[in-house]
Amino acid sequence: MDSRREVILAFLKTHGPATLAEIAAHLEVSKQGALRHLEVLEGSGLATVATADTHRRGRPENVYKLTAAAGDHFPDGHRELTGELVDFMTNEQLKQFFQRRAEKLEAEYAPRLAGLDFAARVRELARLASEHGHMAEVVELGDGGLAIRHCNCPIQDVAARTGLPCVNEQQMYERLLGTDVARTTWMAEANDDCTYVMKEKEKQIG
């Protein structure tokens, strides 16, 4: 694969969804030059593009993100090491580790959600999750609720073995959003994503 396309994949993996302008700036090429590479990645099923959900004036920008298939293009040797580390930790140590990890993420996320309404907090949470490698997106549900879909998990093997990261993440979402959050799909159960469903508290029935 062309080295520029590898750079784009790595940028989207670490940065999350990005506009054409952001990708071009990262590559230090023109938008047209970046677009040629992105079109190849789209054609290969490694990237998708959609119109950005933005409140800024002017023409909406296209936002590019990785597909689940793009995960095969990243090194995964760390997973074996992670699995070995888990083997050396007791259940209590694992519980404490992932709890502290969730607390650290919550402390990072909370200030960035302050002052936002419910829908905006959900969308910001999805963006923050993408920054940490989850390739997250927000889905609007027919009943007025919202869902955050994680299309990638950087610690999937460990999450599947213990379930602890996912439980802590679900509880963290509940605290940050001030409402109940249900997980309806899970990669560890052969689903394509992990989906967290939520509705604004005052709109819940009962």
- Is 15's pLDDT higher than 80? no
CA distances from residue 2 to 6, 37, 38, 102 in whole angstroms, order as listed: 7, 9, 11, 37
| 94 confidence band (pLDDT: 50, 70, 90) | confident
Overall average pLDDT of the 93-121 stretch: 92
The pLDDT > 70 percentage for the chain reads 84
In sequence order, the 6+-apart residues with CB closer than 8 A to the CB of 65 are 12, 16, 17, 18, 47, 48, 50, 130, 135, 137
71-87 per-position pLDDT tens digit: 776 655 455 556 666 77
Phi, psi (deg, nearest 5) at residue 184: -105, -20
Domain map of the chain by residue range? 3-73, 77-203
Residue type at 29 in one-letter notation: V
Count CB-CB contacts under 10 A for residue 165: 21
Q: Most confidently modeled of 45-54, 57-66, 67-76, 90-99?
A: 90-99
In this predicted model, which residue has the larger pLDDT, 86 or 37? 37
Q: What is the structure's pLDDT at 52?
A: 66
Question: Nearest 5 degrees, angle CA 195-CA 96-CA 105?
Answer: 50
Nearest 10 degrees: CA dihedral of 180, 54, 20, 30? -150
CATH number for the domain running over 3-73 = 1.10.10.10
DSSP H helices, 16-117, are 20-27, 31-43, 77-87, 91-113
| Pairing outcome for strands 47-51 and 62-66 | antiparallel
Tokens of 33: 């030059």
- Is 175's pLDDT higher than 90? yes
CA distance 65 to 53: 14
Q: What is the structure's pLDDT at 77?
A: 47
Largest interatomic CA distance in the chain: 55
**Quick one: CATH architecture of 77-203?**
2-Layer Sandwich (3.30)
| 55 confidence band (pLDDT: 50, 70, 90) | very low
Contact at 8 Å (CB) between 64 and 38? Answer: yes
Classify residue 100 as exposed, middle or buried by CB count within 10 Å of its CB (0-12, 13-18, 19+): exposed
- Is 203's pLDDT higher than 50? yes
- Is 178's pLDDT higher than 90? yes
- Is 202's pLDDT higher than 80? no
